[in-house]
Amino acid sequence: MIFYIAHGAENSCGPGCSDWIAAEGGAQWDTGRRLIAILDRNPGRKLPLVINSFGASDLKGAAGVGRILHDRGLDAMLGATEVAACTDKPETECFLLKRPGGPLDAELTTARTCSTACVLILAGGIHRTITPGNRVVLSGMEVRSRRAPNISDVRRSALTLGIDYELRTYLREMGVETEVMDIVDQDSGLKRNTVVSPADWERLHLITSAPR
């Protein structure tokens, strides 16, 4: 996942908000360090995190990013950041423009599908927003070990239970219903995805107010 400061029109990211931190890609075990780095380069600014999460992610890493948001008192929302300087440029060239961290002129559009990792990041926001047009799709989790890729089924089962417990604890602390993990667990067993309807966003406390 990459982070950079984006600047848009007045009220782009909410009332009186024209600057935000764009978060793009998949969360990994060390993603939190990169978020802390950009926050520390912008002391005193409580910019919202705008999440466009895609690709494979580490769920514990995603929860770690969420905890940083919560500890720093930052808001979170879903959205895709369209950087003006990236127009007609290949993705690799655009990535090089974003990597230094901005600021970059941009506008917000609808994000790609918000997956389980995306929901875990969003959960850390003090105020959480999902605008209409975005989709929340939960899926099961698969435990892998970087240090021991060929772990036994018994060990994998034990790790899965441990991570499930950690993520439930995290969601509870963030004020999000642990039913989210019930859905993830069911999806793991059935190898399916579950679309969370806008009607359930507020019920599960994925958002802190009704979608605008």
Structure confidence by residue, pLDDT tens digits, 117-151 = 999 999 999 999 998 889 999 988 776 655 556 66
CA distance 36 to 48: 14
Type of residue numbered 163: I
pLDDT for the residue numbered 212: 44
pLDDT at 150: 67
The ranges assigned to domains in the chain are 2-139+192-203
pLDDT of 145 reads: 58
Position 23, amino acid: A
Cβ-proximal residues to 16 (8 Å cutoff; 6+ apart), any chain: 10
pLDDT of residue 52: 94
- Residue ranges, the chain, pLDDT below 70: 143-156, 209-212
- Strand partners for 193: 139
Specify the pLDDT at position 156. Answer: 64
> What's the CA gap between 80 and 114, in Å, rounded?
11
Q: What is the pTM of this model?
A: 0.90
Other beta carbons within 10 angstroms of residue 146's beta carbon come to 8
**Which structure tokens are listed for 24?**
């793009």
Residue 29 tokens read as: 């075990």
